[in-house]
Amino acid sequence: MTEDPSSHALDGNAAAGPFADVFGVDVSMVTVTCGGCQASAVFAEQRAFLGGPGAVLRCPGCDHVLARVVQTTRELWLDLSGSASWRFPMPISKAAGSQPNEPLADGTID
Amino acid sequence: MGIFTRGFGGRREPEAASLPPGQHLTDGFPVLTAGPTQYVDTDDWSLTITTETNDRQTWSWDDLMAMPVDDVEVDIHCVTRWSKLGTRWRGVPVDAFFEKIESTGDYVMAHSHGGYTTNLPLEDLLDGRAWVVFEYDDGPLPAEHGGPVRLLVPHLYFWKSAKWLNGFTMMTGDEPGFWEGFGYHNYGNPWREERYDRD
Amino acid sequence: MTDLADRGARTRGKLPGPRPRWLRARLVALRSETRTARTLTFEVPGWPGHRAGQHLDMRLTAADGYSAQRAYSISAPADGEQVSVTVQQVRDGEVSPYLVEDMELGDELEVRGPIGGWFVWPPSPEAPVEQPVLLVGGGSGVVPLMAMVRERARVGSRAPFRLVYSARDADQVLYADELAQSATDDGLLVDLLYTRAAPDGTTRPPGRITEADLATPPEAGLADRVAPRAYVCGPTAFVEHVIGRLLTLGYTNRTIRAERFGPSGG
């Protein structure tokens, strides 16, 4: 990373910080689908524009605004209206309670 | 959190007394953008004013070049807290475009190539308060700073000075533009520090 | 029982936590890398650790309340509560001149991180560390790649790693000595190329990186011409150019991971 978070396009890696404020977690690996052209890519590979009034995430294919974040003195604003969907990867835990009563391959329930 | 970084900011010029509250001087000219730089050939450029009744008037680059120009020197103030004094531009006063426009609209939405929008009261664009500019610092306005043509409204925060200007839409009722609908102040007077909505 | 255990052992791209928050960071070590770049090591109480390739956000607040924020790649593997970044000074920059020239031991700022679960090596906890990897860095884009090189050494991996590093001239090269040492000791393949001025004795004339520069040389020891994974980092234009060349060479969007800096990444 380097000086001047403004001007030319960065990628979602650079926007993960501002979006972490709102989501409480690193969203670099979320798969975002564009509401304009339906292309999908991980957050990290979308285009990001920072340093201005807010952080803007855009589709590299069609420039559609996928998401925006603004931090004012009092509030955090989040706009996801340009995204068709956000898919968050989840861990598959074998801990008890995560998949209760799921039958096993042989039909028994652990 | 209250952590100050010793010695940071020491390179900045001493503050001038005439800055709006919360602003700091810069000697660079930061490029801040919400989207990719737009590259528009002057051959392809046009400005269209659309009234609230959908009447349209369009000016080409050649039309623009034939209009009366002002050379202006103004201070500009960005909502991200930098200010730049004595910036020099050449452009056509917005008044010249609205002379023949018949409209009852009191509000205007400025449009940029690439989809950016920003709203202003019509009166803030008239009476010598705003320009459609095409030169900066004695040279053609660079694309990264909004060239070939951008709006210049120095009495408001600089997000109102739409880059890559291609049109004005007249509105009878006020509507928020790209940032105004999303956390930022609807009007944006730096002297009253109107940065965010509800300021 | 086995089926559930198998499912448990498979973790599909887990979202890294915990929530990044701003932490106080005190400068505890400095190392000059070139005339215009230096590595700063911070002591950060509460730092949760990080993976090679991740970055942090840094916030500096002046006495009058003015603050600036920048992102910097972490240059070395996790080391308790110590975190290092290498900063390349950008002319007329607002923050980098302070970090490279003014900041002194004991000074403080704030950091938030680690950030970035995508541009990391190894790519996941289950990924084999012995897989060959191509690293392509432009200018200061080499910083997160260096964290990966150092992580590989730390875990004792002998994975075929090849670093193609594009710099303006010899004065701009970061970590020169360590890279040479790693080439000797750890089997790291390093190809340095220059865009403006090449030192005497180098055969490749200065110029932009090409497909030929990226193609796998015979000594890489790869059965295939294409590494299973490539990491590309640097200014946006550099990254886009390199990705284009890699796609032609047979890499795919799934095997390439990229991180784009601003225009002045070098």
b/e per residue A12-39 (b: at least 16 CB within 10 A): bbbbbbbbbbbbebbbbbbebbbbbeeb
Give pLDDT, residue A6. Answer: 38
Give pLDDT, residue B194. Answer: 97
Q: How confident is the model at residue A94 (pLDDT cuts 50, 70, 90)?
A: very low
The label of the residue with tokens 């432009």 reads C138
- The residue ranking higher by pLDDT, C14 or C177, is C177
**C246-263 mean pLDDT:** 91
Q: What is the pLDDT along chain B (199 residues), one digit of tens a residue?
A: 578 999 887 666 666 668 999 898 877 787 788 999 999 999 999 999 999 999 999 999 999 999 999 999 999 999 998 899 999 999 999 999 999 899 999 999 999 999 999 999 999 999 999 999 999 999 999 999 999 999 999 999 999 999 999 999 999 999 999 999 899 999 999 999 999 998 8
**C156-181 mean pLDDT:** 94
Quote the minimal CA–CA distance from B82 to chain A in Å: 11
Quick check: C4 pLDDT over 80?
Answer: no
Question: Partners for B (CB, 8 Å, 3+ pairs)?
Answer: A, C
Tell me, yes or no, if B14 comes closer than 8 A to chain A by beta carbon. no
**C193-203 mean pLDDT:** 93
Chain A, 65 to 104: residues with Cβ < 8 Å from chain C are 88-95, 99, 102, 104
Global pTM reads: 0.87
Chain C residues closer than 8 Å to B9 by CB: 60, 62-64, 66
Report pLDDT digits (tens) over C47-85.
999 999 999 999 999 887 788 889 999 999 999 999 999
Quick check: C30 pLDDT over 60?
Answer: yes
Chain B, 57 to 116: residues with Cβ < 8 Å from chain C are 81
Q: Do B4 and C61 touch (CB under 8 A)?
A: yes
Mutation for testing the B interface, residue in C43, C59, C61, C89 having most B CBs under 10 Å: C61
Percent of chain A with pLDDT over 90: 59
Q: Do C61 and B7 touch (CB under 8 A)?
A: no
| Interface contacts A/C by beta carbons within 8 Å | 142
How confident is the prediction for chain C on average, in pLDDT? 88
Exposure on the CB side of residue B158, measured as CA atoms within 13 A: 26
Quick check: A3 pLDDT over 70?
Answer: no
Tell me, yes or no, if B7 comes closer than 8 A to chain C by beta carbon. yes
Q: Do C24 and B11 touch (CB under 8 A)?
A: no
How far CA B44 is from CA of B95, B105, B131, B148, in Å, comes to 23, 28, 20, 10
Tell me, yes or no, if B37 comes closer than 8 A to chain A by beta carbon. yes
CB nearest to B32's CB, from A52, A70, A74 = A52
Nearest CA in chain C to A102: C4
Q: Do C260 and A13 touch (CB under 8 A)?
A: yes
CB nearest to A6's CB, from B31, B179, B183 = B31
Tell me, yes or no, if A44 comes closer than 8 A to chain C by beta carbon. yes
CB nearest to B9's CB, from C62, C108, C110 = C62
Quote the minimal CA–CA distance from C248 to chain A in Å: 19
Tell me, yes or no, if B11 comes closer than 8 A to chain A by beta carbon. no
CB nearest to C263's CB, from A7, A30, A104 = A7
Give pLDDT, residue C131. Answer: 86
Q: Would you state the structure tokens that stand for residue C86, as one six-digit string?
A: 């290498």
Q: Do A52 and B33 touch (CB under 8 A)?
A: yes
DSSP string for B104-115: ---EEEEEETTS
Q: Do C94 and A3 touch (CB under 8 A)?
A: yes
Give pLDDT, residue C5. Answer: 38
Mutation for testing the C interface, residue in B1, B3, B4, B5 having most C CBs under 10 Å: B5
- The residue ranking higher by pLDDT, C109 or C219, is C109
With a cut of 0.90, is the ipTM above it? no
Q: How confident is the model at residue A97 (pLDDT cuts 50, 70, 90)?
A: very low
Phi-psi domain of C51 (left: phi exceeds 0; alpha: psi -120 through 50; beta: other): beta
Cα(C34)–Cα(C176) distance, integer angstroms: 9
Domains and CATH numbers, chain B: 2-6+23-28+44-192 (3.90.420.10)
* Ranges B46-60, C76-90, C124-138, C144-158: which has the least confidence: C124-138
- The residue ranking higher by pLDDT, C239 or A8, is C239
DSSP string for chain A: --S--SSS-EEHHHHHHHHHHHHSS--TT-EEEETTT--EEEGGGSEEE-SSSSEEEE-TTT--EEEEEEE-SS-EEEE-TTEEEEE-------STTSSTT-B-TTS-B-
Q: Do B35 and A58 touch (CB under 8 A)?
A: yes
Q: Which residues of A touch B (CB under 8 A)?
A: 4, 6-9, 47, 49, 51-54, 56, 58, 63, 65, 68, 70-75, 77, 79
Give pLDDT, residue A107. Answer: 41
Chain C residues closer than 8 Å to B5 by CB: 60-62, 98, 103, 107-109
Q: Do B1 and C92 touch (CB under 8 A)?
A: no
Quote the minimal CA–CA distance from A5 to chain B in Å: 9
Mutation for testing the A interface, residue in C50, C115, C231 having most A CBs under 10 Å: C115
Rounded to 5 degrees, what are φ and ψ at A87? -110, 115
Strands C256-261 and C229-235: parallel
**Alpha-carbon torsion (C192, C194, C195, C201), positive or negative:** negative
Quick check: C107 pLDDT over 90?
Answer: yes
Exposure on the CB side of residue C83, measured as CA atoms within 13 A: 33
Cα(B5)–Cα(B173) distance, integer angstroms: 47
Give pLDDT, residue A36. Answer: 96
Cα(B101)–Cα(C199) distance, integer angstroms: 65
Q: How confident is the model at residue A1 (pLDDT cuts 50, 70, 90)?
A: very low
Report pLDDT digits (tens) over B96-112.
999 989 999 999 999 99
Quote the minimal CA–CA distance from A67 to chain C in Å: 18
